[in-house]
Amino acid sequence: MDVRPLPARLSVIVALCATLSLAPVGYASEQQVLDAYQHYLKALEANDPVQTEAHAREAYQLAVKLLDESTPQIAALAMNWAGALEALAKQRPEGMDSEAYLAHRKQVREQAFERYQDALSHYERIEGKESEQLIEPLLGLGALSKEARQANAYYQRAIAISEGTPLRQASIQILAFDRLKQNPETVKAAKSHLLDAIEVYQKQLPENHSSRIEAEFRLGMMYAALGKRNKAIDALEGVVEQYEVLDFDHPLSLASRTRLVVLYERQGDREKATEHCVAVGQMRPWQESQEQVPLYRKEPSYPLQAARKGREGFAVLEFTVDEQGFVTDPKIIESEGGKDFERESIQALQQWRYAPRFEDGQAVPAKSLVRLDFSLGRPGQ
């Protein structure tokens, strides 16, 4: 699972091997569990999700059947099975159509959720309800919970358990933000988790630490989505500044600059937008074989008379992206529906911003094409 690195789980199972191999009673039963676990490890190393899940399931089921129920490693094996199920859910079986795969994925994820519940219940019985061992299954349940509010409850509990370890707690809050930010019911909680995590990172990590920079990128994108442009700009400019010292182009720097183009254009600051357009052009190769994607675009207005008459159409334009990412010399090379569509297309296109083409380290003008369709549904591409 993405939010819990697999090696952390394997370190738990190493303890399983050591514990069982030292036990004098029930050796044959314990050996069956260890054998199943070894098969699981081999399948995992071979990157075979089907066999990994099968052997993880076998190891857990044997442990439940053969070992004393107070054995803590049963919970660790449940965690392994849950993780294997999550990995399996991401694999589309060969020959399965999209609809069938979605149903399959849903079913397998539900099974993983149940295994995390098993692990949580087992740890609660033998370790207590405040044990740090509960954190991993709680994170699994939060990630897979169908209801956003229930997911938040799992994360809140994990956050409370990790109270004495601020950096770990902050990392859990980041996971909570990523899981909860898209749901209107939990967006406020997501924001709170992110802000709390950033407060910890600002106190305990240097400015150039990757965890802190990634959290501040999330903050900038969140503010941009909420329409808080100044706060978004401050956060994203901070991200760009930290990555300036690198001798390679970091994906978060590219993403930050791309968003900053939009934010500055919407504020009417074309000079600052140009700075980031040019930087993006240096970072991203110009693709001759495909239509260029604007960093900022304004949809053309639908001509009033055309709308009243139910008239539709399109315009294909050729234009130049200059050294600063501005559109120059737009020309209609094909159109349908009337001159008003051509006029609106040109007026909109002149406000678009692109990353300029670079050759030998220098920005150069480049030709491009775009087609704008006007329909009574929505104008645009």
Q: What is the DSSP track for 264-332?
A: HHHHT-HHHHHHHHHHHHHHS---TTSPPPPSB--PPPPPHHHHHTT--EEEEEEEEE-TTSBEEEEEE
pLDDT (average), residues 127-132: 95
pLDDT (average), residues 198-224: 96
pLDDT at 249: 84
pLDDT (average), residues 39-46: 95
Name the residue with tokens 């380290």.
361
pLDDT at 291: 65
**251-267 and 270-283 helices cross at what angle (nearest 10)?**
160
What's the Rg (C-alpha) of the chain?
27
Q: Does domain 205-284 have CATH number 1.10.357.10?
A: no
Which is more confidently placed, 286 or 335? 335
pLDDT beyond 60 at 100:
yes
pLDDT at 378: 52
d(CA 255, CA 235): 13
pLDDT at 292: 77
* Low-confidence winner among 10-14, 49-53, 70-74 (lowest mean pLDDT): 10-14
pLDDT at 361: 85
Task: For the domain covering 304-374, report its CATH number.
Answer: 3.30.1150.10
**78 φψ region: left (φ > 0), alpha (ψ -120 to 50), beta (else):** alpha
Fold of 6-144: 1.25.40
pLDDT at 185: 95
| Inter-residue long-range contacts of 335-342, CB under 8 Å, 24+ positions, other chains counted | 337/306, 337/311, 337/312, 337/313, 337/374, 338/303, 338/306, 338/311, 338/313, 340/303, 340/305, 340/306, 341/303, 341/306, 341/313, 341/314, 341/315, 341/372, 341/374, 342/315
Identical fold between 6-144 and 205-284: yes
What tokens does 146 get? 């169908």
Mean pLDDT of the chain: 90
261-274 b/e (C-beta count within 10 Å ≥ 16 → b): bbbbbeeeebebbb
- Return the domain boundaries, the chain: 6-144, 205-284, 304-374
d(CA 82, CA 37): 14
The tens digit of pLDDT for each residue in 308-325 reads 999 999 999 999 999 999
What tokens does 181 get? 């930010």
Give backbone dihedrals phi and psi of 3, rounded to 5 degrees, phi first. Answer: -85, -10
